Homo-oligomer: A and B are copies of this chain.
Amino acid sequence: MIIDCHGHYTTAPAQLEAWRKQQIAAIGNPGKAPSRESLTISDDEIRASLEGAQLKMQRERGTDVTIFSPRASAMAHHIGDESTSVEWTRVCNDLIRRVCKLYPDNFIGVCQLPQSPGVRPENCIPELERCVNELGFIGCNLNPDPSGGHWKEPPLTDRWWYPFYEKMVELDVPAMVHVSSSCNPCFHATGAHYLNADTTAFMQFMTSDLFKDFPTLRFIIPHGGGAVPYHWGRYRGIAQDMKRPPFSELLLKNVYFDTCVYHRPGIELLLKVVPVDNILFASEMVGAVKGIDPDTGHHYDDTRRYVEPIDWISAGDRQKIFEGNTRRVFPRFGKRTPREVNASARSG
């Protein structure tokens, strides 16, 4: 089985964006805010949004199931206040549940969180519990910078985040560290902010004892880990200069990288330097890069084509990257089939 651990619902029917626009227009004027129930999208519309996109690509590329979450760039936690974020998040997560219900073999849910700048992360616990316990989701996307490019929250290793981590540990769900759109004109979202956040998170983890406090807490750093594998020597060297423990002890039981790196030399580098147990297959399709690489004739984000032909890793290691590691990092997936995971949902 090939599991793509990183996909967003970037192709949701237009009503979703219209609802969001209406919500944003009503900021400061709560009486005009749309109710969650006012969003009406039919099952057929959901099917149509996926059949020509994520499902088509799963079939064409030969991947089996996608761990699926709301569109990351649209989380936009910086817009409005906590109540704005709570409503928007619930709408988005409910839509993911509908996707998983319609295609229980193809998608497993991961939730957006109702973060808001300066608001304590434990306020996200009810939505995390709802998504995991009721909707059958297996993880969450945690935004280290809900300000959208101003980086005003404490580092991910600060005790500010600890109550939320306690709940993650209790529910046995990992988080993908994933920022949203940038409202800082310095940072292009997918070309700078995303990768910077990945790099930043790794360095925060490397310089802290977070995983002494939470030995079973797990994070996935997406987009191949930002700049980290390319600078693996730099990180090893800085850690050594700082007299930090070896990575194996410091963070490799807790921090994982996905394979959203859109060319063969990048994937080769990732597989050369990062231990195979820490690499999870992913493509983030349909996502940041939609085109076809004229050099290969294939989509840039068809990452299976980069991983598959690498012949200096064993079949067992390839299986870990494509399937085994993800099942291990998401214990609520574990040995179950996607259909079984989705059948565990109690509502939605």
Q: Is A216 an interface residue (CB 8 A)?
A: no
Q: Which of the listed residues A223, A230, A290, A291 has the most CB atoms from chain B within 10 Å of its own CB?
A: A230
Q: Is A154 an interface residue (CB 8 A)?
A: yes
Flag A218-260 by CB within 8 Å of B: 1 or 0 each.
0000011011011111111110110000000000000000000
> Which residues of the partner chain B approach A207 to less than 8 Å between Cβ atoms?
188, 191
Q: Is A83 an interface residue (CB 8 A)?
A: no
Chain-B contact segment, one of A70-78, A132-140, A192-200? A192-200
* Structural contact, A153 and B233, CB atoms closer than 8 A: no
> Which residues of the partner chain B approach A123 to less than 8 Å between Cβ atoms?
none
* Structural contact, B151 and A186, CB atoms closer than 8 A: yes
> Which residues of the partner chain B approach A262 to less than 8 Å between Cβ atoms?
231, 233-234, 237
Indicate the size class of the contact surface on chain A: 35 or more
Q: A155-B186, A227-B226, A241-B291 are in contact. Are A266 and B199 (CB under 8 A)?
A: no
Closest to A243 in B: B291
Chain-B contact segment, one of A90-98, A142-150, A332-340? A142-150
Q: Is A273 an interface residue (CB 8 A)?
A: yes
Query: Complex formed: what's the CA distance from A280 to B187 in Å?
Result: 26
Taking a contact as CB atoms closer than 8 A, the residue among B149, B200, B261 that contacts A234 in the complex is B261
* A180-206 with Cβ < 8 A to chain B: 184-188, 190-192, 195-196, 199-200, 203-204, 206
> Which residues of the partner chain B approach A300 to less than 8 Å between Cβ atoms?
233-234, 236-237
> Which residues of the partner chain B approach A266 to less than 8 Å between Cβ atoms?
230-233, 269, 273
Query: Complex formed: what's the CA distance from A289 to B232 in Å?
Result: 12
> Which residues of the partner chain B approach A318 to less than 8 Å between Cβ atoms?
none
Q: Which of the listed residues A154, A184, A233, A237 has the most CB atoms from chain B within 10 Å of its own CB?
A: A233
Q: Is A36 an interface residue (CB 8 A)?
A: no
* Structural contact, B187 and A200, CB atoms closer than 8 A: yes
Taking a contact as CB atoms closer than 8 A, the residue among B200, B224, B233 that contacts A230 in the complex is B224
> Which residues of the partner chain B approach A184 to less than 8 Å between Cβ atoms?
151
* Structural contact, B191 and A195, CB atoms closer than 8 A: no
Taking a contact as CB atoms closer than 8 A, the residue among B204, B223, B231 that contacts A186 in the complex is B204
How near does chain B come to A193, taking the closest CB pair, in angstroms?
Answer: 8
Query: Complex formed: what's the CA distance from A207 to B193 in Å?
Result: 14
> Which residues of the partner chain B approach A290 to less than 8 Å between Cβ atoms?
237, 241
Query: Complex formed: what's the CA distance from A301 to B238 in Å?
Result: 11
How near does chain B come to A231, taking the closest CB pair, in angstroms?
Answer: 6
How near does chain B come to A279, taking the closest CB pair, in angstroms?
Answer: 14
The chain A residues found within 8 Å of chain B, CB to CB, are: 144-145, 149-151, 153-155, 184-188, 190-192, 195-196, 199-200, 203-204, 206-207, 223-224, 226-227, 229-238, 240-241, 261-263, 265-266, 268-269, 272-273, 288-291, 293, 300-301
In the assembled complex, 25 residue pairs joining A and B whose CB atoms fall closer than 8 Å, in A order, are A151-B184, A153-B186, A155-B186, A186-B204, A188-B204, A195-B227, A195-B231, A196-B196, A196-B200, A199-B199, A199-B227, A223-B234, A226-B227, A227-B227, A233-B289, A236-B293, A236-B300, A237-B290, A237-B300, A238-B288, A238-B289, A241-B289, A241-B290, A265-B269, A268-B269
15 further contact pairs, Cβ within 8 A, besides A191-B206, A227-B230: A149-B151, A153-B186, A190-B238, A192-B204, A195-B226, A199-B199, A230-B266, A231-B261, A232-B263, A233-B263, A233-B266, A234-B263, A234-B289, A237-B291, A266-B273
